Amino acid sequence: MTLLQDGALTEAFDGASTAYDRLTGANPGYHRQLRRSARRLALPNGGEGLRVLDLGCGTGASTAALLAVAPRAEITAVDASAGMLERAEAKKWPGNVTFVHTPAEELERAGVSGPFDAVFAAYLVRNLTDPDKVLTGLRGLLRPGGRLAVHEYALSGAVRHRLVWTAVCRSVIIPAGSLGPGGADLYRHLWRSVLEFDTAPELAERLTAAGFELVRTVPLPGWEYGILHTFLARAPR
């Protein structure tokens, strides 16, 4: 299977948007894992006085995770999919949350400017056409010492984790996705993109190459152990 790219991937997210929350909600740990990664940003004082960028917010699950750990932060949530963003905006949010429709590559054109105190990017980097360019841009949007958390499927490199990922995708994720309005294409892309993108050590190296410091890789528990990680980093001071 050829991975979906650019407009085709955005269209796939648009098509799946109306059923996306139901599918992710069927994974009992999905929202808990997002909150765990958001908590690892270690934002002080409930985020009071801080600006946080939620890049690739989708239907708002990552935004809700940030609000749970930093309810006083000013959160700018961005996504390239109009369908996903429409679902996010339809939910009830406090006044400190703002949504912006734009690809990650065009933040400046959409008026999204720094400095931000933190960036949270969940399930995003693997889907970028030019992840190095975007990551370098994010470093520039962060204030000196600003924090980055990348919540991403990135396999440890062990064969057993590849086998678990493929088994879950083929037996659960792809069949369930095929019943939704967008069909199975997005979920086949999900399966293949994880297998073909960086391993966890490679993604950590990519962050370092983009100019981030203090890069750490922290696994998430449960069946996704060795598959899903939080990547933590800081912008240089």
Q: CATH number of the domain that 213 lies in? A: 3.40.50.150
Extended beta strands in 96-174, E state: 97-101, 116-122, 142-153
- Is residue 215, in this structure, part of any structural domain at all? yes
- Is residue 167, in this structure, part of any structural domain at all? no
Question: What is the structure's pLDDT at 179?
Answer: 86
At 82, the amino acid letter reads A
The vertex-133 CA angle with 128 and 137, nearest 5°, equals 110
- The total of other beta-carbon atoms located within 10 Å of residue 205's CB is 13
- Is residue 55, in this structure, part of any structural domain at all? yes
Alpha-helical segments (H) within 99-228:
131-141, 159-168, 174-178, 185-196, 200-209
- Is residue 181, in this structure, part of any structural domain at all? no
- Is residue 183, in this structure, part of any structural domain at all? no
- Is residue 109, in this structure, part of any structural domain at all? yes
- Each residue's pLDDT, cut to its tens digit, for the chain (237 residues) gives 567 776 899 998 999 899 899 888 888 799 999 999 999 999 999 999 999 999 999 999 999 999 999 999 999 999 999 999 999 999 999 999 999 999 999 999 999 999 999 999 999 999 999 999 999 999 999 999 999 999 999 999 899 999 999 999 999 999 998 888 888 899 999 999 999 999 999 999 999 999 999 999 999 999 999 999 999 999 999
Number of domains in the chain: 1
pTM attached to this predicted model: 0.95
Identify the domain containing residue 146 by its residue range: 27-156+197-234
- Is residue 205, in this structure, part of any structural domain at all? yes
- Is residue 46, in this structure, part of any structural domain at all? yes
